[in-house]
Amino acid sequence: MALPLPIAQKLAYSSAILSFPCASKWGNPVDDSNRVLFINADTVLRGEISNGGRIEICGYVDGTVIGEHLVVQPGGRCHGTIKVQSAEIQGTLQGDIAVRQLMNVRSTGSVSGKVQYGRLSMDLGGDLSAEMRNIPPTIGGDLDLAVAKGRSVRITLQDLNALDPDDKADDLTFAVSGARNGRVTLSNEPDRAVNSFTQADLEKGSVMFKHDGTEGVDASFDVVVADKAGATSGAAQTVKVAVRGHA
C-alpha cells in the first residue's frame, strides 16, 4: 500500500500509527508486494509504522518502525526504534536498531546508536557507530506564504518547521534576518518585530508575518534554525510571501 503525499502530510504532526494488514509478526517474513510504504522526500512522518512489508524512506521518519525490509534512500532520515528483517541504508539511520538478517550500509549511509544485526555488509565510505550523535536540525515546510496587503498571516507548520529528533521544540530556535516588505511577529505582540522564535512558538500558532502595506507582489524573510547544542541548519533559507490585493 503506497501512502499518498497528502495523507502523509496530515500525519506529520500527529501521533500517527500506520498498521498494515495481513502481515506476520516481526521475525516471520511474508512475501507480500502490496505492503509497500513510500515516504516522499518532502514528507515528514512522526509516530509508528507497524507490520510493514517494504518501507522506503526518502523523507523524514521519527518514531517506531516495524517491518520486513527497510530502505533509507540518500537524503532520507529515520530515527527511533527500528525492528526489521533486513535493511539497506543509503541515508541516515539512528536509534535502537535491530536487523534480524542482513544490514547493508552503502557508501552514503550512516548508522548509529544501539545496533544489532545478523549479518553486516558495508561499502567503502559507509559509517557505523555505537555512539548516539547530536543531529543538526534541518528546516522543513514549503517555505511559501500568502498575505493580504497590509495584513498579517499565521505561519503554520506546513509553511515552516524544524526537524530534529533529539531536541525539544523549546530548544529549537529560528533566527530571522533579511525581512523584506514586512516583519515577523508573535501573536501576543503583533506590532513588534522579532529576530527569533522557537519551534514551540510555531506549534502553538504564535508566529505571524505582517505585511508593511507597501506596493509590490511579494515579500520575504530568511531563517536559520539552531538546536540546544548550537548545531544549525546551515545557510539561511528564504521564506517567500506572496502579497494579495496590491495595486
Residues 12 and 87 in one domain: yes
Of the residues 76, 101, 129, the one at which a domain ends: 129
Residue 16's pLDDT is what? 47
Residues 37 and 149 in one domain: no
Residues 144 and 94 in one domain: no
- In angstroms, the CA 48 to CA 33 distance is 20
Provide the residue-wise pLDDT of the chain in tens; the chain has 247 residues.
333 333 343 334 333 444 444 333 333 333 444 578 999 988 889 888 888 889 999 999 999 999 999 999 999 999 999 999 999 999 999 999 999 999 999 999 999 999 999 999 999 999 998 877 788 899 999 999 999 999 999 999 999 999 998 889 999 999 999 999 999 999 999 999 999 999 999 999 999 999 999 988 999 999 999 999 999 999 999 999 999 985 5
Helix, strand or coil, per DSSP, at residue 8: helix
Which residues have a Cβ under 8 Å from the Cβ of 11 and sit 6 or more positions away?
A: 18, 45, 46, 47
CA angle 157, 43, 51 (to 5 degrees): 120
User: 37 is in which domain, residue-wise?
Assistant: 5-129
Domain total for the chain? 2
How long a stretch of residues is the chain? 247
Residues 103 and 156 in one domain: no
Q: Are strands 173-180 and 218-226 parallel, antiparallel or unpaired?
A: antiparallel
Residues 158 and 175 in one domain: yes
Q: Are strands 173-180 and 196-198 parallel, antiparallel or unpaired?
A: antiparallel
Residues 104 and 161 in one domain: no
Of the residues 129, 152, 183, the one at which a domain ends: 129
Q: What is the CATH number of the domain that holds 239?
A: 2.60.40.10
- Note the Cα 245 to chain centre separation in Å: 33
Q: Backbone phi, then psi, for 136, in 5-degree steps? A: -60, 145
- In angstroms, the CA 81 to CA 93 distance is 10
Residues 6, 10, 16, 21, CA torsion sign: negative
Residue 246's pLDDT is what? 58
Residues 57 and 83 in one domain: yes
Query: 175, exposed or middle or buried, with CB in 10 Å at 0-12, 13-18, 19+?
Result: middle
Residues 185 and 125 in one domain: no
Residues 121 and 146 in one domain: no
Residues 110 and 143 in one domain: no
Residues 146 and 226 in one domain: yes
Of the residues 108, 129, 150, the one at which a domain ends: 129
Residues 49 and 146 in one domain: no
